[in-house]
Structure 1
């Protein structure tokens, strides 16, 4: 069985770009989405990757995360985990309702926590591996208008730092990338061309992620790397 790179959030624009980048290097990829991804959303394994496994899970549910990882255990040893699950909603502290707050914390922070926990338990026993989380520019520079999102992403960043320290004795690297606005079709439709000036395409971020989970990046751990270009 070959080493796997697990990509959580594989059906989104960034997820598709990351899976395509990794598959382009002929790596074995487990592409995880909330529902079984449409085969058209990820590359054809017969032409790009030796093995591409499409898996479904609710990553906000700790029990479903454990079920997912039991399934992954049967596929091969995990070399790296890439966490891309997340979502955005605006709102100030004073007008963010309870439902929105809880949803953003669960979608951005809790999912990352549960998946990282399952991965860390396995990678620490292997004595090698990498975890890559996706934070946000707002984790460093929280501005007005996206309070719960900024708090959740700051939590992802702190989780990354803590895990890097905890897993260092096992030679497992843990890093985060911090995008700003990503140039995706959905953002183009909702924000317009002018607002996206300087936005970074997902393919460019995917190349950074691919490097960070590779053995070439072995000296890097505990880093939060900006990938928001000049936007």
Structure 2
């Protein structure tokens, strides 16, 4: 165990898992969080795990507080949570929009609120959220998803303005398509040909939370692939 604690939320998915492994290799004490205990079983030995649904603000706070007591106050938060929904604007339902905002933006806010007091006390901290290209550029056919990710992009920028004076840096990466086992069966080959590996995104996240990225805050880093 080291004094540098990193929390990776969404660690049951491929991007979260490889990010947790990368940060552990970089010397962090890593705790992976996911609402699914099953996904967390794939984390390697040496990476702690906690089950919790971060879309619930009370759960997000209780999980972070428990990690702070058991592993140490968090210096890094990586939020790799996200969910996806296809659908045109005229077909969107209140449930579609609510789910996309709750998961893609709400959890980011609740998690940041939970870790910020610990980072403020240390005078330093780094937060990275996982946004998406449709949150930056208008994309037809995925209204609710695009709005949810756009909310996350704007949230990241507001958090930067409010938390940077406390020594807390907040950034985001914005992939277009990830080359994951979950995506491959559902997306056409011509789209997957430009997909980016989770390992490549994890490397960028690891840089953004590192001391080498100390001047960077409020950035939404495009990670679209070739």
Matches of residues 16-31 of structure 1 in structure 2 within 5 Å? 16-31=17-32
Which segment is superposed worse, 91-100 or 35-44? 35-44
Which segment is superposed worse, 21-30 or 179-188? 21-30
Native 8 Å contact 2:37 2:51 kept in 1: yes
Partner residue, 2:56? 61
Which segment is superposed worse, 113-122 or 181-190? 113-122
- 1:130 aligned to 126, 131, 137, which one? 126
Superposed CA RMSD in Å reads: 1.4
C-alpha distance in structure 1 between counterparts of 2:65 and 2:205, whole Å: 25
- Deviations 1:174-207 (Å, cap 9, x if unpaired)? 1010000111111111114332011101000000
Tell me the TM-score normalised to structure 1 length: 0.92
Runs of 4+ with >4 A deviation: 37-40
Native 8 Å contact 2:33 2:40 kept in 1: no
- 1:100 aligned to 81, 96, 103, which one? 96
Structure 1 pair 225/43, CA: closer, same or farther in 2 (3 Å)? same
Q: 1:85 and 2:81 equivalent?
A: yes
Q: 1:114 and 2:107 equivalent?
A: no
C-alpha distance in structure 2 between counterparts of 1:192 and 1:67, whole Å: 40
Structure 1 pair 21/124, CA: closer, same or farther in 2 (3 Å)? same
Tell me the TM-score normalised to structure 2 length: 0.94
* Stretches of structure 2 lacking an aligned partner (at least 5 in a row): none
How far is 1:42 from its partner?
1.1
* Stretches of structure 1 lacking an aligned partner (at least 5 in a row): 46-51
Aligned residues: 224
Tell me the secondary structure at the aligned position of residue 215 of structure 2: coil
Partner residue, 1:2? 3
Matches of residues 1-231 of structure 1 in structure 2 within 5 Å? 2-38=3-39, 40-45=41-46, 52-74=47-69, 75-230=71-226
